[in-house]
Amino acid sequence: MNHTIADVAVPTARSKITLRNKWSVSEASFRRILYLAGLSLLILIVAIFFSLVVASLPALRQFGFGFLTGKTWDPVRGEFGALAFLVGTLMSSFMALLISMVFSLPVSIFLGEYFRHGNASTFLKSVIELLAGIPSVIYGFWGLFFLVPLVRALEVKIGVAPLGVGIFTSSLVLAVMILPYASSIGTEVISLVPSDLKEAAFSLGATRFEVIRKVILPYASSGIFAGILLALGRALGETMAVTMVIGNSNFLPKSIFSPGNTMASVIANEFTEATGNLYLASLIELALVLFIVTMIINILGKLIIHKMSARK
């Protein structure tokens, strides 16, 4: 029996065609929906930026660039200078980075070179994953009840004011929190170093240590750097754990054991009690600075990673 186009599109006496309405959307509308979904994400980012700028306008207009260099943060007198928080942020983040690198680099080498497969590798990888999954507030809680007494004891020993809380403590907690981020990219780039490069070095009689030092690390250096950048980005924006152990002082920190505040922690502390447009706008301006700085660092880090994969 000859079938024509009509037979398939039109029912025979016995069969029924019910084109279910859900997917009767024409192809063009579907494409439009998808396109809009993608576009809306772009709009979201732009909207976030603009909202932050608009909301912080009062502070931007009042203080201008002096906002970042002002030493005094006095809500009562309406003086808002963020230098103390910038310093606090930089101090805690960079110290955290240094402390973390002491452990994250070995982890990257452990997982990327020495123990790529097997039980040891799975175990350490799971632990690192778990560390990344612990909520920030729990880190803060642990920092408050475990690290603070330890730091206090240390401060007594070295003759500093035994507060326990402070920038040093916050950098300790941060160091643990950013370990997974600093180590994961490092692990990947180290494991992706081409084996023929390594074999060339081995065949010349180098020890593993020397191959790592002279072949692997140099090759993977930009990737490791990217991982550090991304970890830094994470540390800069971290709020809860920091706010719980940093001591919440709005004065310029004098030493690493001083209490202080980061841009993120002062927002967390004071936002709900902020009265008046200028106060709120100043806090939002801090958020704007955080947004821009973390965005630049993240883009830089991802750019380096893209360049590395392009190189291969």
Partner 1 sequence: MQGMAEISIHRRIWADRLFKGLIILLSLCSIVPMFLILFLIVKNGISVIDWEFLTHLPKPIGETGGGIANAILGTLWLIVLSFVFSVPLGVFAGIYLSEYRGDKLAYLTRLAIEILQGIPSIVIGIIAYVWVVMPMGSFSALSGGVALGIMMLPVVVMATEETLKLIPDSLREASLALGVSFPRTIMKVILPAGLSGILSGILLGVARVAGETAPLLFTAFGSPFMNYNILKPINSLPLTIFNYATSPYPDWHTLAWGASFVLIAFVLGLNLITKSVTKKWKVQF
Partner 2 sequence: MESAVLRIENFSASFGELTVLKDINLSLSRNTLTAIMGPSGCGKTTLIRCVNRMHELTPNAKVSGKILLDNQDIYNTDPIIVRRQIGMVFQRPNPFPTMSIYDNVIAGYNLNGIKLNKEEMDRTVEESLRKAALWDEVKDALHRKGNFLSGGQQQRLCIARALAMHPEILLLDEPTSALDPKSTAHIEELVSHLKTTVTIIQVTHNIAQAARISDFTAFLYLGELVEFGSTEKMFTGPKDKRTEEYLTGKFG
| Nearer residue to partner 2 within complex by CB, 6 or 102 | 6
Question: Which of 36, 97, 21, 56 is CA-nearest to residue 290?
Answer: 56
| Nearer residue to partner 2 within complex by CB, 14 or 311 | 14
Rounded distance, CA 157 to CA 243, Å?
25
- Say whether residue 98 binds partner 1 (CB under 8 A): no
- Say whether residue 90 binds partner 1 (CB under 8 A): no
Rounded distance, CA 167 to CA 144, Å?
13
Instruction: Give the count of alpha carbons within 13 A of 100, CB side only.
Output: 32
Which of partner 1, partner 2, none does residue 4 bind (CB under 5 to 8 Å by kind)? partner 2
We find the least distance from the C-beta atom of residue 34 to partner 1, in angstroms, to be 4
> Looking only at residues 160 through 179 of this chain, which bind partner 1 when binding is defined by CB under 8 A?
176, 179
| Nearer residue to partner 1 within complex by CB, 77 or 209 | 209
- Say whether residue 275 binds partner 2 (CB under 8 A): no
How many residues sit close enough to partner 1 to count as binding (CB under 8 A)? 80
Map residue 180 onto helix, strand or coil. Answer: helix
Is residue 301 within 8 A of residue 226, CB to CB? The reply is yes
**DSSP string across 136-159:** HHHHHHHIIIIIHHHHHHHHHHHT
Is residue 148 within 8 A of residue 169, CB to CB? The reply is yes
Choosing from 82, 290, 304, 308, the residue that interacts with partner 1 (CB under 8 A) is 290
Q: Which helix (H) or strand (E) holds 199?
A: helix 195-203
| Nearer residue to partner 2 within complex by CB, 24 or 119 | 24
| Nearer residue to partner 1 within complex by CB, 71 or 123 | 123
How many residues sit close enough to partner 2 to count as binding (CB under 8 A)? 15
Which of partner 2, partner 1, none does residue 133 bind (CB under 5 to 8 Å by kind)? partner 1
Q: Which two tokens stand for residue 145?
A: 């009840």
Which of partner 1, partner 2, none does residue 139 bind (CB under 5 to 8 Å by kind)? partner 1
We find the least distance from the C-beta atom of residue 34 to partner 2, in angstroms, to be 16
- Say whether residue 30 binds partner 1 (CB under 8 A): yes
We find the least distance from the C-beta atom of residue 1 to partner 2, in angstroms, to be 9
**DSSP string across 181-216:** HHHHHHHHHHHTS-HHHHHHHHHTT--HHHHIIIII
x/- binding map, residues 221-240, to partner 1, per CB under 8 A?
A: ------------x--xxxxx
Instruction: Give the count of alpha carbons within 13 A of 210, CB side only.
Output: 9
Question: Which of 103, 150, 140, 158 is CA-nearest to residue 247?
Answer: 140
- Say whether residue 55 binds partner 1 (CB under 8 A): yes
Tell me which DSSP letter residue 247 carries.
B
Question: Which of 180, 312, 160, 174 is CA-nearest to residue 243?
Answer: 174
* Span between the terminal Cα atoms of the chain, in Å: 59
Rounded distance, CA 249 to CA 37, Å?
44
x/- binding map, residues 8-47, to partner 2, per CB under 8 A?
A: xx----xxxxxxx--xx-----------------------
Choosing from 7, 74, 129, 199, the residue that interacts with partner 2 (CB under 8 A) is 7
- Say whether residue 144 binds partner 1 (CB under 8 A): yes
Contacting residues toward partner 2, per CB under 8 A: 3-5, 7-9, 14-20, 23-24
